[in-house]
Amino acid sequence: MYTKKVFPVIGMIYWTSKYIILFLIISIIPVFLFDILDWKWLHLPWLPIGLLGTAVAFIQGFKNSASYDRLWEARKIWGGIVNTSRTWTIMIKDFITNDHTVDNVSSAELKSIIKVIVMRHVGWMTALRYQMRQPKSWEVNVHSKKNVKFREKTHVLLESDIPKIEAITPYLSSADLNAIKDKGNWASQILGLQSSHIKELKDRGLIEDFRHMELMNVLKELYTLQGKSERIKNFPYPRQFATLNLYFIWIFIILLPFGVMDAFQEIGQGFRMEMMAHEHEAGFFHMIYDGLGKHFVWLSVPFSALISWVFYTLEMIGENTENPFEGGVNDVPITNMTRGIEIDIRQLIDDEGIPEPYVWDNWIVL
């Protein structure tokens, strides 16, 4: 996944620009009715609105905390994949030898066996990241029309542009591809192929019993990390919390101007009373101050819009964080991590034709 260099503040304003306009409209309507049409009864006491805002803030804080926990756990899982991949590679490199075999094999064949296993491991990571990028019905953020348009201007999702079979073919043999292509979970099947290959090497004497058990423990750890990653992918943040919180935020945003403008109206009245106490001081500035106090309620519009923007932006941040494998600009960069691991482990076995990191002109890697 690639992303352009964008200043965070500019990106945030662009991301929420339509909602900023909407919040301004929502804030202007009650003030227009109150001040221009003289509907002075059109206001609400601040206390119940403040209590509602406090409740919404607590619920939103809980949601954002839970969403961040999902994101951070996903990052730790893929950090574990990074470390375990290195461990797997050096064990494969050092454990597969002629030390316990009857008929020695050539150094070229040993190197070929090691490369096949390492490349198959890269194929496993590739299959897993494609499974993590597979859209789910509850993952509506990245695939919504608004966010697709935003994505086109900010980053590229390789899993959407390159078919899975095309991405994984360079890492697997024809026999391996034929063994997994009709199966559902390619990543699990590839680890199964690794296990079978390790057993075959043990039977040939290229790996002795203790080393075989150690390698199987690493495969077990890879299965565990895959399962943890699938758990986050396949189990969404509970929708009852997410949906109700969104409803509560919109109720608060709609009611907010009715409570805020009353407070600003009182400030304006106090301002005018102060001017009336000095009405003998006629002049241009006196007229300005009097008009400002009379229409001081209009200052509630930017404040209402700002508060609404803060609450809703926090909601959007939580909503776009809860599914860390969607492919959003703030998700776990598993595509880039996979390429980084591939480069690292292929260098460990002194392989040739190692690819370059994912970097394009004017884009930075996520």
Contact by Cβ (8 Å): 201, 100: no
Q: Mean pLDDT throughout 232-256?
A: 88
Measured CA to CA, the distance from residue 254 to residue 246 in angstroms comes to 12
Average pLDDT, the chain: 84
Measured CA to CA, the distance from residue 306 to residue 23 in angstroms comes to 8
333 by DSSP, 3-state: which?
coil
- Dump pLDDT digits (tens) for 300-313: 899 999 999 999 99
Q: Which helix (H) or strand (E) holds 138?
A: none
**Residue spans of beta strands (DSSP E) within 87-214:** 155-156
3-state helix, strand, coil in the chain (%, to 5): 75, 0, 25
For residues 157 and 180, which has the higher predicted lDDT (pLDDT)? 180
Residue 67 tokens, joined: 């969403």
- Dump pLDDT digits (tens) for 268-279: 666 666 555 555
155 by DSSP, 3-state: which?
strand
Residue 190 has pLDDT above 90, yes or no: yes
Contact by Cβ (8 Å): 208, 202: yes
Of 130, 203, 122, the C-alpha closest to 170 is 122
- Dump pLDDT digits (tens) for 326-346: 887 778 999 999 999 999 999
Q: Mean pLDDT throughout 308-322?
A: 89
Residue 220 has pLDDT above 90, yes or no: yes
Residue 323 tokens, joined: 């599914």
In our burial notation (b when 16+ CB lie closer than 10 A, e otherwise), range 67-97 reads: beebbebbbebbebbbebbebbbebbbebbb
Residue 5 has pLDDT above 60, yes or no: no
- Dump pLDDT digits (tens) for 58-109: 999 998 999 999 999 999 999 999 999 999 999 999 999 988 887 888 999 9
Residue 41 has pLDDT above 90, yes or no: no
Predicted confidence band of residue 26 (pLDDT cuts 50, 70, 90) = very high
If one counts every other C-beta atom within 10 angstroms of the C-beta of residue 155, the result is 19
**Residue 274 has what pLDDT?**
59
Strand partners, 155: 3
**Residue 71 has what pLDDT?**
93
Determine the number of helices (DSSP H) and then strands (DSSP E) in the chain: 14, 3
For residues 254 and 9, which has the higher predicted lDDT (pLDDT)? 254
Residue 264 has pLDDT above 70, yes or no: yes
